[in-house]
Amino acid sequence: MDWIEELFGLSPDVGSGATEMLFALVVVLAAVALAVGVRARRRTSR
């Protein structure tokens, strides 16, 4: 869970894992937004 600390040697959340969870949430939300955008574009291009 503390991969940011291991990778960069920084502990922005003092080891709680909150930064990693926030990063994962942002990635998931971005993926969902892109999927919705692609689906909408495919529907309008038909």
Residues 9-44 have pLDDT tens digits of: 888 888 888 999 999 999 999 999 999 999 999 988
- Domain that includes residue 9, residue range: 3-44
**Residue 2's pLDDT band (cuts 50, 70, 90):** confident
> pLDDT at residue 46 above 80?
no
Q: How far is CA 14 from the centre of its chain?
A: 20
pTM of the model: 0.75
Q: Does 1 score more than 80 pLDDT?
A: no
What string of DSSP letters covers 1-36? --HHHHHHS--TTTTSSHHHHHHHHHHHHHHHHHHH
Q: For the stretch 7-27, what's the b/e string if a residue is b when 16 or more beta carbons lie within 10 angstroms of its beta carbon?
A: eeeeeeeeeeeebbeeeeeee
How many domains are there within the chain? 1
